[in-house]
Amino acid sequence: MTRATAGECQANFIPVSITDILDPYIGVSEQNLKNLFDKARSRKPSIMFFDEIDTLGYNRSKSSSNMRGVIDTFLTEMEGIDTDTDQILVIGATNMPWDVDSALKRPGRFDRLVFVAPPDEEAREQMFRLKLADRYVQDMDIPSLAARTEFFSGADIENLCERAAERVLEEILETQVERPIRMSDVEAVLQEVRPSTLEWLRTAKNYVKYSNQSGIYNDVEEYLKKFGRRI
């Protein structure tokens, strides 16, 4: 999504992973982070994407002392007296927004929280079509699969298709008879797997209930009001 955003804005896309920053030697992680922001400033307009932002921006009251310098540098680079983020959009992704330091969620920093809900039925149907498009399949009822995979993420759907293919491959190796992936193969795997989003949604339910005074989790709250009884 972030890469597509950069393409739409005709901006340079700069993905940042944890390994690009963290270093065991004191001060090196902070310098690595500063260098990445300097790179973004030299290539404006640019979009920086930080994956697993909770690892870099973990709540300072809970983090180790050697990580606090990284968070302080992050805060300075995003909105410091001597730094400029004009024409730089900084986006972070996390499964645990409640673990991100509160200072990083203030205006001028990560001030907008966007909840990416599990794909709806229409989206799941498109995902199944994409994941099965290049496979040898037969008699596949994709609308039915989409209807039966509520709360499945894109990764869950990909895993479901992959495991169905592996199931058929194992049979082919045993029988030496090639055959397509059928609806029954996917249904068999469907009996064994559960959506990975449920655990997160159940955890989020507690945070929404007790820690949403500022309204930061309103999107999650609305989703849970609609689907909470089935989670």
pLDDT tens column, 140-164: 999 999 999 999 999 999 999 999 9
Predicted local confidence at residue 80, as pLDDT: 67
* Cα separation, 190 vs 184, whole angstroms: 10
Which CATH number applies to 121-190? 1.10.8.60
Instruction: Identify residue 67 by its one-letter amino acid code.
Output: M
* Cα separation, 69 vs 58, whole angstroms: 11
Predicted local confidence at residue 35, as pLDDT: 93
Predicted local confidence at residue 63, as pLDDT: 66
* Cα separation, 19 vs 50, whole angstroms: 11
Predicted local confidence at residue 210, as pLDDT: 82
Residue 113: beta bridge partners?
none
Please report where in the chains the tokens 């200072």 appear, as a residue. Answer: 103
Of the candidate CATH numbers 3.40.50.10360, 3.40.50.620, 3.90.650.10, 3.40.50.300, the domain formed by 2-105 belongs to: 3.40.50.300
**Low-confidence residues of the chain: pLDDT under 50:** none
User: Which residue, among 158, 155, 168, 148, has the nearest Cα to 128 in the 3D structure?
Assistant: 158
Structural domain spans, the chain = 2-105, 121-190
Predicted local confidence at residue 64, as pLDDT: 67
User: Which residue, among 193, 169, 168, has the nearest Cα to 182 in the 3D structure?
Assistant: 168
**pTM summary value:** 0.80
* Cα separation, 9 vs 129, whole angstroms: 29
Q: Is the peptide bond before 24 cis (omega within 30 degrees of 0)?
A: no
